[in-house]
Amino acid sequence: MRVFSGIQPTGRKHLGNYLGAIRSYVALQDVGEAIYCIVDLHAITVGFHPTELRERLYDTTSILLAAGLDPSSCVLFRQSDVREHTELCWLLTAVTAYGELSRMTQFKEKSKEQKAFVGAGLLLYPVLQAADILAYQTNEVPVGEDQKQHLELARNIAERFNARFGETFVLPEHRIPEVAARVKDLRSPEKRMSTTAGTEQGTLYVLDPPDVIRRKFASAVTDSGHEIVRAPEKPGVTNLIEIIAAARGMAPDAVERHYGDADGYAEFKRDVGESVVELLAPIRDRYTEVRQDEGALEGILRDGAHRARAMASPTVALARTRMGLGPSP
């Protein structure tokens, strides 16, 4: 089984990134052939600064390594180092409809945020994402709930290409965590946790100090009443149940039973905070050590890119040939 996933180098990584994707990355590197890409080309579809982009890329690489990714057990690389991604993206535009792209939720949301200038790259973002996945004949893609629509488009693109030009791409399946697949903002639980669209106090960062983590959970929005149960009318409590269940490796039902006799939310929120402090402590401790050696980080990314190109090149060459591009085989 071949696994592929990409992660943005923009901003600081938050709890939703960790529970929704990064933790799955670590688990899957021992199950199949795991390929993980830091998608700096995707990052330039919104406003960015070149120096900061490089810094954030090293930050993200360090968090992945601190979380447990082992370069000897997976392929970890920088997207822009593997030109097969951009070539395949252009080839796939031939079987991608403009209407499909304009209907993507992420495009509609981000284009509203960038009223002054909406770059074409933002529209083509899902095609590049499809190229990222399909270039490696990927079987499974660990993603958060918010990326499910993009993966469905990648499958549609692959099916359309195969039907028109002959069997070329594996159709990937998504792997979404059963618990905490879409962690919500602690202060605005009606929307997902985000480094760009969320609130500062409602976004819990992987590298937040323990006291900051405790304070953010202590001030987390709950709901009226005192029952600790999941329900549509209790998004704040539902979010906290999902978080503590994921942090402790419990089922959400078991969390509800454990706190069935609780009188209010204060103790529950303290427990959620402590569980997250314990969960993230090893990552925060190791991150400081890993981040200091940028030469070592570059070596890992460079080696990963070399291995990634060897895997992606045959697929892109096959796609070119099937489309009639280049010399006759």
Distance CA 25, CA 65 (A): 11
DSSP assignment letter at 182: S
Rounded to an integer, what distance in angstroms lies between the CA atom of residue 15 and that of residue 178?
16
Please check whether residue 235 lies inside any domain of the structure. Answer: yes
Domain residue limits at 65:
2-175+293-322
Say if residue 127 is in the same domain as residue 111: yes
The rounded percent of the chain whose pLDDT value lies above 70 is: 99
pLDDT given at position 260: 85
Instruction: Give the Cα separation of 32 and 28 in Å (integer).
Output: 6
Whether 281 and 308 share a structural domain:
no
Residues of the chain with pLDDT > 90, as a percent, come to 74
- 54 and 117, same domain (yes or no): yes
Q: Do both 165 and 117 map to the same domain?
A: yes
For residues 41 and 169, state if they share a domain. Answer: yes
**Overall average pLDDT of the 42-46 stretch:** 91
Note the pLDDT tens digit of each residue in 48-104. Answer: 899 999 999 999 999 999 999 999 999 999 999 999 999 999 999 999 999 998 888
CATH number of the domain within which 221 lies: 1.10.240.10
Domain assignment present for residue 97? The answer is: yes
Entry field: residues in the chain: 329
Tell me: do 22 and 168 sit in the same domain.
Answer: yes
What's the total number of domains in the chain? 2
| Beta strand residue intervals within 72-132, DSSP E | 74-78
Q: What is the mean pLDDT of residues 301-306?
A: 98
pLDDT of residue 60: 96
Cβ neighbours around 52 below 10 Å, total: 13
Same-domain status, 20 and 147 = yes
Whether 270 and 225 map to the same domain: the answer is yes
224 pLDDT higher than 90: no
pLDDT of residue 110: 78
One domain, residues 310 and 164: yes
User: How far apart (Å, rounded) are the C-alpha atoms in residues 183 and 243?
Assistant: 7
Based on the fold, state whether residues 28 and 140 are members of the same structural domain. Answer: yes
- pLDDT bucket at 142, cuts 50 / 70 / 90: confident
Is residue 155 assigned to a domain?
yes
Average pLDDT estimate for 223-233: 87
